[in-house]
A = this chain, B = another copy of it.
Amino acid sequence: MPQPNGEADGRVVRVTVWNEFVHERRDDSVRAIYPDGMHAVVGAALERYLGDAVSVRFATLDQPEHGLSEPVLAETDVLTWWGHCAHDEVSDEVVERVVTHVLQGMGLVAMHSAHFSKVFRRLMGTGCGLRWRNADDRELVWSVDPGHPICKGVPIPIVIPRQEMYGEFFDIPQPDELVFISSFTGGEVFRSGCCFVRGRGRIFYFSPGDQEYPVYHNEAVTRVIANAVEWCTPSRRTAAPVLSAPNAPYGWYEGERGLEGI
Contact = CB atoms under 8 A, between A and B. Distances in A.
Tally of this chain's copies: 4
Contact of A174 (B153, B178, B257): B178
A200 B167 CA distance: 17
Contacts of A244: 127, 129
B131 A260 contact: no
Contacts of A218: none
Interface residues of A, number: 88
Q: Residue among A144, A237, A249, A254 with the most chain B CB within 10 A?
A: A144
Interface string A171-199: 10110111001111111110100001111
Interface of A: 7-8, 99, 103, 105, 116, 122-133, 135, 138, 140, 142-149, 151-157, 159, 165, 167-171, 173-174, 176-178, 181-189, 191, 196-202, 234-238, 241-251, 253-254, 257-261
A147 B202 contact: yes
A188 B199 contact: no
Q: Residue among A187, A234, A246 with the most chain B CB within 10 A?
A: A187
Given A131-B245, A132-B245, A236 B144 contact: no
